[in-house]
Structure 1
Amino acid sequence: MKKEVAIFFTALMFYSRIPCPKNITHDPDYLNKATRYFPLIGWIVGLISGTTYFLMAPLLGTEIAVVLSMVAGILTTGAFHEDGFADVCDGFGGGWTKEKILKIMKDSAIGAYGAIGILLLLLLKFAALVQLLDNYASFFDVIVVFITAYAISRWIASTIIFTSEYVREDELSKSKPIAKAYTWREVVGTGFFGLLPFVYFVAQDVKFSIAILPVFLIRLYMERYFKKWIGGYTGDCLGATQQVCEVVFYLSIIGIWKFI
């Protein structure tokens, strides 16, 4: 149990900016196992973002509250996944070979593709959340929406680790430890924490079960796209997948409301 707690805090430290006990380090073995708690970190970020929205909406209105909820989430994760999305836009937008794509993604500077991509992504996320959250009034319902979206998108992204190859050869890469190996515990852990909120969400209305289909199709497309150009994935690819799948989940729920 003590080891599992340490692995959880390792995941919390790696995937967020939330303070952790001083004895927690970036131990490669624990980082490798930390994948099992990746969606669980989504629960925490979702709780923070959802609470921010719920507290601010009555005072400032839906639109401003949504922006503040997005700010809260970004501050909690340190823009970890948004940075990955921007890097993927730059890399795959400006590179035409595996070597060039990986080199561009490694560059800390953001280019036109990354800036335009992250701007459009955040605008789409904002618009989707404004429309989506207008349909939820209670604190619990709002929290469930955020936690479900954050958890399932992280689970979907983590499954790429189990079905694809990590392509960077740089041992200094911060994502290298989580890409070396995995066991059934990582597979089961990510699935449990990723799908549990979604199961509860679907229990409220079974038609929402359809929402996972577009998310999974996008995941398959992105994995295939990454394999085509670089032969596998990088940490940035996982971050980009999480961001895109989160937005697709919101859009899927809106679509189900409108047409089903």
Structure 2
Amino acid sequence: MSRELQLFLCAVQFLTRLPTPRLKGFEPDWVSRGARYFPLVGLLVGGACALVFWAASQVWSGWLPAILAITTGVLITGAFHEDGLADTADGLGGGADPAKRLAIMKDSRIGTYGALALGLGLALKAAALATLPAGLGAWALIAAHGTGRGASVIVMRLLPYVGAPRASKWKAAPVGLSLGEMLIALVFAGLPLALSPDGVVVQGLLLASLLALGLALIARRLLGGYTGDVLGAVEQVFEIGFLLGVSAAFALAAAPRTGG
């Protein structure tokens, strides 16, 4: 098995609960090295969600296709990124200093801030997705999942790791993420954007980038850098922003125009 295939399968194992072949000679560094494939894994997850959304839209309208699609993503990933969003909200909202915030984020219990962030995040994604037709919604899911994981890779590259390795699900590589690895990830993340329908990609990326940037800056100020939970939160915030931006663009394009 080639090294690149091993790194891709490692990324699949890390980000999802999909069955994969057993990796021989696994090294902790593989998770960081496999980050170049995080957006590609996102495209696979988003593709499954898109298929469910499109198929359900042939039967139902409104919220049900959106909820089924989001549930599909949660089942495939084991709520991996949603857990990071909840932990990050609890830590950033409840700690008085970086050490306390990190301690709260390691606690497996969910607090008020985490519950609110999780509930509101899922509701916003479902509400935005429910406004979109089947084809556009399916594309938006693929693009949101791919670009959201691309955003987390950018954070890995630009911010220092501040988590405690022994208490984390993964240990950041000593060398960190290279520029080349980040660019490879961004190429994968950008694949669905080349097929953007109805010119909605700018609005989706703009709102998503602003939200993810804001969260990354807050994490740098309050924690000193990123943890695995912060990466999950960045991915979720980017997804939410992207779907909201696409939904807004669609609504504005569909609104009747009045002439003077």
TM surpasses 0.5: yes
Q: Secondary structure at the match of 1:226?
A: helix
The 8 Å contact of residues 52 and 72 in structure 1, kept in 2 or not, is answered as: yes
What aligned pairs does 1:41-190 form with structure 2 within 5 A after superposition? 41-132=41-132, 135-136=133-134, 138=135, 141-177=136-172, 181-190=176-185
The 8 Å contact of residues 67 and 126 in structure 2, kept in 1 or not, is answered as: yes
Residue 207 and residue 73 in structure 1: after superposition, are their counterparts in 2 closer, same or farther (change >3 A)?
closer
Bigger Cα displacement from structure 2, 206-215 vs 2-11: 206-215
Match of 1:192 in 2: 187
Task: State the Cα RMSD in Å.
Answer: 1.9
| In 1, Cα distance between equivalents of 2:99 and 2:119 | 26
The 8 Å contact of residues 106 and 167 in structure 2, kept in 1 or not, is answered as: no
Amino acid at match of 2:89: C
- 1:40 matched to 2:40? The reply is yes
Match of 1:27 in 2: 27
Residue 131 and residue 107 in structure 1: after superposition, are their counterparts in 2 closer, same or farther (change >3 A)?
same
| In 2, Cα distance between equivalents of 1:83 and 1:167 | 18
How much has 1:102 moved relative to structure 2? Answer: 0.2
How much has 1:180 moved relative to structure 2? Answer: 5.0
What aligned pairs does 1:194-233 form with structure 2 within 5 A after superposition? 194-201=189-196, 204-206=197-199, 208-233=201-226
CA deviations 1:85-105 (Å, max 9, x no partner) are 000111111111101100000
Residue 60 and residue 25 in structure 1: after superposition, are their counterparts in 2 closer, same or farther (change >3 A)?
farther
The 8 Å contact of residues 34 and 178 in structure 1, kept in 2 or not, is answered as: no
The 8 Å contact of residues 40 and 193 in structure 1, kept in 2 or not, is answered as: yes
Amino acid at match of 1:67: I
The 8 Å contact of residues 10 and 24 in structure 1, kept in 2 or not, is answered as: no
Residue 126 and residue 143 in structure 1: after superposition, are their counterparts in 2 closer, same or farther (change >3 A)?
closer
Amino acid at match of 2:100: K
The 8 Å contact of residues 159 and 225 in structure 2, kept in 1 or not, is answered as: yes
Q: TM-score, normalised by structure 2?
A: 0.90
| In 2, Cα distance between equivalents of 1:73 and 1:42 | 10
Residue 55 and residue 179 in structure 1: after superposition, are their counterparts in 2 closer, same or farther (change >3 A)?
farther
Match of 2:18 in 1: 18
How much has 1:208 moved relative to structure 2? Answer: 3.1
Bigger Cα displacement from structure 2, 172-181 vs 242-251: 172-181
Q: TM-score, normalised by structure 1?
A: 0.90
- 1:248 matched to 2:241? The reply is yes
The 8 Å contact of residues 163 and 228 in structure 2, kept in 1 or not, is answered as: no
How much has 1:253 moved relative to structure 2? Answer: 1.4
CA deviations 1:18-38 (Å, max 9, x no partner) are 001023575212212110000
Q: Which has the higher helix share?
A: 1
Alignment: residue pair count: 253
The 8 Å contact of residues 162 and 226 in structure 2, kept in 1 or not, is answered as: yes
Residue 159 and residue 207 in structure 1: after superposition, are their counterparts in 2 closer, same or farther (change >3 A)?
same
